[in-house]
Amino acid sequence: MKKITIAIDGFSSCGKSTMAKDLAKEIGYIYIDSGAMYRAVTLYCIKNGLFSGDEINIPELERHIKDIHITFKLDEKTQLPRTYLNGEDVEDAIRTMEVSSKVSPVSAIDFVRSALVSLQQEMGKEKGIVMDGRDIGTTVFPEAELKIYVTASPDIRALRRYDELQAKGQEVKFEEILQNVKERDYIDQNRKVSPLKRAKDALLLDNSLLTIEEQKEWLLKQFEKATQQN
């Protein structure tokens, strides 16, 4: 069967990666978490002293951008990709609140976006890929055969992320997560370069009241329809 490209975009913490991973496993496609790449650049900035407080040194980051190499390697046990920054496994380090609180301003920088978008397009050039993020259906793969735009209420999204971080043993406050989710949504929707918005041909999914299993079934149906049409 001809392979297609699947773009899943939407708001922070609504379940995009969960559904993208599930689908990719089920249909044997590659899964790429584009948010992990923006998080890895942010971690690089933190580790290399490119932040003073919340202020990012943009000219310095521009000088460093060619030294930032992001790759993914499949974890043998989970069969899920882990993110590597310059050869180091940073999959856990990029999921902290510190990175979450700094990632959206880094993601709004034009040269950061153009570097990562090129890399994402290279990863998807053979199709057979499920990629999730904010601009996958609008900028990275505007020709994707299946585009989904996911949303859920901010409170529900913050609670999902809170439960996840608590389960990982991270000390977090619900209010802090809710504020971060709202702040990131605002910056992501209002930045100049590739803001988060629904592509005209994206299917809208509000999964506020869906279980993980229900959204998985819904997405699989959309995939089957899309492959029949293409």
Ligand X SMILES: Nc1ccn([C@@H]2O[C@H](COP(=O)(O)OP(=O)(O)O)[C@@H](O)[C@H]2O)c(=O)n1
What phi-psi label fits residue 216: left (phi over 0), alpha (psi between -120 and 50 degrees) or beta? alpha
> What does 212 interact with, of ligand ADP, ligand X, none (CB < 5 to 8 A by kind)?
ligand ADP
Question: What is the biggest distance separating any 2 CA atoms in the chain, rounded to whole angstroms?
Answer: 52
Interface residue with ligand ADP among 6, 7, 16, 104 (CB under 6 A) is 16
Size of the site for ligand ADP (CB under 6 A): 16
Residues forming beta bridges with residue 152, ordered by sequence position:
none
Say if residues 72 and 83 touch (Cβ distance below 8 Å): yes
> CB 60 → ligand ADP: shortest distance, Å?
29
Report the b/e string of 100-122 with b at 16+ CB within 10 A: bbbbbbbbbbeebbebbbebbee
Does residue 22 bind ligand X (CB under 6 A)? Answer: no
Tell which positions 187-226 bind ligand ADP, by CB under 6 A.
207, 210-212, 215
| CB-nearer residue toward ligand X: 164 or 227 | 164
Q: Report the candidate in 129, 161, 121 with the shortest Cα–Cα distance to residue 147.
A: 129
| x/- track of binding to ligand X for residues 110-149 (CB under 6 A) | -----------------------xxxx-------------
Q: How far is CA 153 from CA 37, 91, 130, 218, in A?
A: 25, 27, 24, 19
Whether 174 has a binding-site annotation, put simply, is no
What are the residues binding ligand X (CB under 6 A)? 12-13, 34-35, 38-39, 103-104, 107, 133-136, 184, 188
What are the residues binding ligand ADP (CB under 6 A)? 12-18, 132, 160-161, 164, 207, 210-212, 215
